[in-house]
Structure 1
Amino acid sequence: MVILEVHNDSAGWLVLWLEPLGEDRWLKPDETFHVRSDYDGDDAPFTVDRSEDDDRAAGIVNIAVWVNGGDAQITDSTGTRLDCGHQRPEEVTRKWNALLQQMRSGTASNPIPEGGPRRSFYVDRGHSATGRSPN
């Protein structure tokens, strides 16, 4: 088993995207998660991409951990398995659900960008996921 430790050293949220599944887990400041894989190939088990985008102004950092083979799971520092959406702010869930309803009804004016929801649509510019202004 291979374990990748992901630590949030920022002052805001760190969104850990497990790819290619597109699953999200949200880390609070100074929190650590572990990505575990049963991969035993010759190549690196993970590839990590840190995203520098508009979410940073809202106090959110995004990283994608690409699982290069085998099954993977994410746990907290006690070993508890964390499901997709772990600690996702309720405001983000409401916005995603509203957009999904619009897409299903054909009334969406701002569809999900290519690459999924991590591309800054879940936070209005200038506001954090908790609704506070970053200033």
Structure 2
Amino acid sequence: MAVMHVRNGSSKWLVVWLEPHGEDRWLERGEMLCIRTDNNGVKLAFDVEYHANDEERADGIENVTVYAENCSYDVDVTDEEGNPVECGHKRPEEIDRKWAARRAAAEEELIRTS
């Protein structure tokens, strides 16, 4: 089993993206996630990439993507006490609205151009 802890040490939101699952979890300052896979340790279990753009930084958002590699599709994400932390954890409502609007616009464009 491979384990990675991710803690938000900044004053901004830290969005932890889990790939290849396409899941997001939003961490407040000091909050931590524990990511576990069934990786057997022969090859790397995780690859980590930090990324942010000017717009996200202005909104107080930083991002880290954790790629779970060389394991089954099952990845457990918990808090420090071992409680499951689901996709969308603490995602701000305004982000949900923004993403829903973008999705609707993309669907509308797809219908329009089909």
What TM-score does the superposition give when structure 2 sets the normalisation length?
0.87
| Structure 2: gaps spanning 5 or more residues | none
Q: Establish whether residue 86 from structure 1 lines up as the match of residue 94 from structure 2.
A: no
- 1:41 Cα offset (Å): 4.4
Q: Which has the higher contact order (CA 8 A, sep 6+)?
A: 2
- 1:61 Cα offset (Å): 0.9
CA distance in 2 between partners of 1:58 and 1:94 (Å):
15
Q: Tell me the equivalent position of 1:119.
A: none
How large is the RMSD of aligned CA atoms in angstroms?
1.4
Q: Secondary structure, in 3 states, of the residue corresponding to 2:48?
A: strand
Number of positions where the alignment pairs a residue of Structure 1 with one of Structure 2: 107
The 5 Å alignment of 1:69-108 reads 69-70=70-71, 71-106=74-109
Contact 2:44 2:70 in 1 (8 A): no
Shift of the 69–80 alpha-carbon distance from structure 1 to 2, 3 Å rule, reads same
Compare the two structures and name the one with the higher helix fraction.
2
* Larger CA deviation: 69-78 vs 9-18: 69-78
Q: Tell me the equivalent position of 2:32.
A: 32
CA distance in 2 between partners of 1:53 and 1:99 (Å):
18
Q: Secondary structure, in 3 states, of the residue corresponding to 2:35?
A: strand
Deviation digits for residues 78-118 of structure 1 (CA, Å, limit 9, x no counterpart): 111111111100000011011111111118xxxxxxxxxxx
Q: Secondary structure, in 3 states, of the residue corresponding to 1:105?
A: helix
Q: Secondary structure, in 3 states, of the residue corresponding to 2:100?
A: helix
The 5 Å alignment of 1:110-121 reads none
CA distance in 2 between partners of 1:18 and 1:91 (Å):
21
The 5 Å alignment of 1:21-60 reads 21-54=21-54, 55-60=56-61
Question: What fraction of aligned residue pairs are identical, expressed as a percent?
Answer: 42
Deviation digits for residues 30-74 of structure 1 (CA, Å, limit 9, x no counterpart): 111111111114111001111142222321110000011223121
Q: Tell me the equivalent position of 1:121.
A: none
What TM-score does the superposition give when structure 1 sets the normalisation length?
0.74
| Structure 1: gaps spanning 5 or more residues | 108-135
